[in-house]
Structure 1
Amino acid sequence: MKELILIRHGEAEHLLTGVVGGWTDTKLTELGKQQAHCTAVRAALLLQDTTFRLYSSDLSRARQTAQIIGHRLASDPICVEGLRELSNGAAANLSVEEADKIRNPVTDPVTDWVPYPGAESWRMMHDRLSAFMEELNVTEDVVVIVSHSNAIISLIHYWLRFSPDMFNVSFDIQPCSITRLRINKWGERTISKLNDTAHLEVEGLLLPS
């Protein structure tokens, strides 16, 4: 693998209804579908004349995005539970107000804080995603992963060999943004593009940050 391309799912219903994300399994909005189609066009340009494999979180918003992209690429996405967002445990499907009522007090170190009953800490999610990456056995030049904001941040950390304790190093990851991680000619792991939304801006599909 010479390049890892990370794509966040398009706008999802929970972003509009006041329901928490995490493992809440919501679908794409109409705008989210338009964003995914636009991103599919961009992905096809990036992946022309190269070999690739397409993976996705199995949650509906990511799976729908990956299916739209995969249709354009003539490649069925491989849906994997291990690529899900940070688990919010008992807070899944709750409103933000309801989730706040069951939120656990912050513990030290924050890396190991479990925000809700049955949820994951940052370290737990990072270990899950790192295990997926370590088990990858691909011959293709590029791996494309459609996932979620926190999961993508964790995958960037994995690529750059950050310690899980560097939890406070974060990145803006917009819906249907494209992040490209590459190995350069010196064998160094680099960020070639981060949170690229130019394809959405051109079509007027970019959400306010």
Structure 2
Amino acid sequence: MLNYPIDLIYSSDLGRAIQTAEIVGQKIGVEVKQTPALREMGFGAWEGLLIEEIKKDHLDTYTTWRNEPHLVNIEGGETLHIIKERVDNFIKEINEKYDNKHILLVSHSVTVRVMLLSFLISGMENIYRIKQDNTALNMVEFRDYGPVVLKMNDTSHIKNNEKINNSALE
């Protein structure tokens, strides 16, 4: 990742993303700006639960989450459409503010997948069609006609034995 020019770093304001962003920022001398716009999906009543617990206590909603995630409204949580609106607004804002800058965004699995689906003009029902390993690099270039996804789920910067996958969607 350090082979690419980075002018700005924005990170989710949640712990793991901040930690990752700070490591990169320190190596390249770029300050990290935190924003709630890049937070992971709020899972409401599911926060902190294991999959087995969710299946036991929220089986109907979990089944819908696995089969039709775009229709799920987890009690006290966010929907995929709310996340899409949040990240679309943020991307629009930074595109207008930082034209022709190389910006690193550090976020979380569901949020990144929603962002990529938005860039690809694809519906939220396709969220499981995008794989996102932890620390995966995605590269998007914004052109006059819209975003172009250049890389997705690139983990070539980590060794195979270091890969960890504990995504909220797995």
Q: What TM bracket, shorter-length normalisation?
A: 0.7 to 0.9
Secondary structure of 1:179's match? strand
Structure 2 CA distance for partners of 1:73 and 1:113, relative to 1, 3 Å: same
Structure having the larger proportion of residues in helix: 2
Give structure 1 regions of 4+ aligned residues with deviation exceeding 4 angstroms. 107-110
CA-based RMSD: 2.7
What is the rounded CA distance, in whole Å, between the counterparts of 2:42 and 2:52 in structure 1?
Answer: 18
Secondary structure of 1:168's match? helix
Q: Assess if the C-alpha contact under 8 Å between 2:81 and 2:124 holds in 1.
A: no
The equivalent residue for 1:119 is 77
Shift of 1:110: 4.6
Q: Which runs of 5+ in 1 are unaligned?
A: 1-42
The equivalent residue for 1:89 is 44
Structure 2 CA distance for partners of 1:139 and 1:181, relative to 1, 3 Å: closer
Q: Give 1:172-191 correspondences, 5 Å limit.
A: 172-183=131-142, 189-191=147-149
Equivalent residues, number: 159
Q: Which runs of 5+ in 2 are unaligned?
A: none
Structure 2 CA distance for partners of 1:104 and 1:63, relative to 1, 3 Å: farther
Task: Quote the sequence identity (%).
Answer: 24
What is the rounded CA distance, in whole Å, between the counterparts of 2:76 and 2:17 in structure 1?
Answer: 22
Structure 2 CA distance for partners of 1:104 and 1:84, relative to 1, 3 Å: farther
The equivalent residue for 1:132 is 90
What is the rounded CA distance, in whole Å, between the counterparts of 2:39 and 2:139 in structure 1?
Answer: 19
Counterpart among 31, 39, 52 of residue 7 in structure 2: 52
Structure 2 CA distance for partners of 1:102 and 1:193, relative to 1, 3 Å: same
Shift of 1:167: 2.4
What is the rounded CA distance, in whole Å, between the counterparts of 2:7 and 2:21 in structure 1?
Answer: 14
Give a deviation string over 1:90-111, Cα, whole Å, max 9, x none. 2212233333314553399752
| Residues 1:78 and 2:36 are matched in the alignment | no
| Residues 1:143 and 2:100 are matched in the alignment | no
Structure 2 CA distance for partners of 1:63 and 1:96, relative to 1, 3 Å: same
Greater RCO (CA < 8 Å, at least 6 residues apart): 1
